[in-house]
Amino acid sequence: MYYGTDFPVFGDWFYIHFVENRGMAFGLELGGDWGKIALSTFRVIAAIAGFWYISKLVKQGAHKGFIVCIALILAGAIGNILDSAFYGLLFSESNRFEIAEFLPQAGGYAPFLYGNVVDMLYFPVIDTVLPEWVPFQGGQRFVFFQPVFNIADSAITIGVIIILIFQKSFFRRI
């Protein structure tokens, strides 16, 4: 994973922060080439299942809000699939000194479905040093909400949160 330079957007609360994520949420990886292809295959199968599920929901007359939430989740998943599928083909590899170059002469750094997903939204809402009296962590730097994510991750998260909040109205039995 490459962590690039922070570009402040809104004070100390919001930065554009370039990160290439090799795995899935929060930088978790399955490990090696087999893990990467297993994750990519799972994503594609899940997206196909998502299309099937949405068409089933529409035919059954499901709550429109629920259909929108599932569509948000599917759209986010497809965004991450496209990033993983094509980013490695279209960009050079990044390192600590250089951000990836678009359409390099030597070609991209990874074959189809082996690319990284680019995350760039960073909201360190609280960035402070904990007081010495705090057990185990006293005197250490503390950042609340450290994950760096992208628009696709946001769509997935928003879809899931709305389903959880409105589940009673989405799944009302008549």
Determine the Cα angle at 52 with ends 40 and 35, to 5°: 15
pLDDT in tens, 92-147: 988 777 778 899 998 899 998 888 888 889 998 888 999 999 999 889 999 888 88
* Secondary structure class of 43 (helix, strand, coil): helix
Is the per-residue pLDDT at 28 higher than 80? no
Both tokens of 119, joined, read 């995350």
42: Cβ contacts below 8 Å, ≥ 6 apart: none
| pLDDT attached to residue 2 | 45
Active site residues: 119, 153
CB atoms < 10 A from the CB of 117, how many? 23
Q: Which residues of 120-147 are buried (b: 16+ CB within 10 A; e: fewer)?
A: ebbbbeeeeeeeeeeeeeeeeeeeeeee
pLDDT in tens, 44-93: 999 999 999 999 999 999 999 999 999 999 999 999 999 989 999 999 98
| pLDDT attached to residue 132 | 93
Burial of 32 (0-12, 13-18, 19+ CB in 10 A): exposed
CB atoms < 10 A from the CB of 63, how many? 14
| pLDDT attached to residue 26 | 60
Residue pointed to by tokens 């399955």: 30
| pLDDT attached to residue 47 | 94
| pLDDT attached to residue 3 | 54
